[in-house]
Chains A and B, each alone.
Chain A
Amino acid sequence: MKSLKPVNYPDPVIFDNERLIFARFDGANSPALNVPNFFSNSDVLTNKIITGIDVKFDQTESLGTDSIQTDIGFVGTITDANSLRYFTITLLGKNGNVLLNEFPLSNFCNLYNSGKIRRTSMIIDLSKSYIRNFGLTITTNKFVIPINFYYKNK
């Protein structure tokens, strides 16, 4: 009897490097509605190939355990996965072209995707990229949205 060839399932994301970026909103009641809220950091991802993106949140009753509470010096994180429904993220490339246009932020949260991390292959310019809020009223100052970027060197 001919033996079956083993099947190798690739890891969904190549974990060469990982960087947790906090999208920081330190104004009162921000991020403001509708307008682009630009990232204030980071140079670390410049000229890196982004291989995966995963959005975190504080906690939720129904979907899982706490991912992360907040950044140093900040007091709040998005409080549940449900709130991610109000946000989109637009990622621009090095030459200013739009790579991901108004991508629903919840779609990058692996708790919405049965644990799967969205795989990507792109070089982004984070300083030109932004998040938009289409309806979540924020009452906490110094609010963050944690985003895990997986990347590898060129």
Chain B
Amino acid sequence: MIITNSYLVELNLPTISLGQRYTFLDVPQLRYNAVIIDGLEAFTADQLATSPNNKTIIPAAAAQGIVITLVVDETEEMYQIPYYTLISGNNAGLIREFANKRINLVKSYATILNITSLTAAQSLIFNFYYRKQIR
């Protein structure tokens, strides 16, 4: 992947509850009619200890208990991607790439499948690689 733009997105988990969905907040720079998402990467505290909002990032052991669902327009086109899979260190350093996806972030969400190793107020953190749409 050739990086042109990236945006770090934080998804805070104020409380930890099994099966709960945590929806992404609106990120104006990534609004789905403005950019095309080329790739997505996730991190644990092994790669980024603290978020820019001074929240602790989830530990590596918790990554296997979280899945991500990404919505394109109104459809859950990428349903429950394991968080673990999105960590490039687990994939020989490669970044997961998408083919021309216009992701609707405010309808996308994370789901907790296992609360082991998670603590309230920790954050998930993602790097979205994107390019601006040419109109």
Contact = CB atoms under 8 A, between A and B. Distances in A.
Q: Determine if chain A interacts with chain B.
A: yes
Nearest to A84: B47
B4 A86 contact: no
B93 A134 contact: no
Interface stretch (B16-24, B50-58, B99-107, B111-119): B50-58
B49 A134 contact: yes
Interface stretch (A15-23, A66-74, A102-110, A144-152): A102-110
A47 B65 CA distance: 45
A135 B52 CA distance: 10
Q: What class of interface size applies to chain A in its complex with B?
A: 20 to 34
Interface string A94-115: 0000111111101100101111
A132 interface: yes
B134 interface: no
B5 A99 contact: yes
6 contacts: A85-B45, A106-B47, A113-B89, A114-B93, A122-B3, A134-B50
B93 A135 contact: no
Contacts of B51: 134
B43 interface: yes
A88 B8 contact: yes
Given A116-B93, A120-B3, A134 B52 contact: yes
B6 interface: yes
A85 B3 contact: no
B81 interface: no
Contacts of B89: 112-114
Contacts of B85: none
Given A107-B47, A112-B93, A113-B88, A119 B8 contact: no
Given A101-B7, A112-B93, A118-B3, A107 B127 contact: yes
A60 interface: no
A139 interface: no
A103 B54 contact: no
Nearest to B46: A85
Given A113-B88, A121-B3, A134-B49, A102 B54 contact: no
A104 B3 contact: no
Contacts of A86: 49-50
Contacts of B5: 99-100, 122
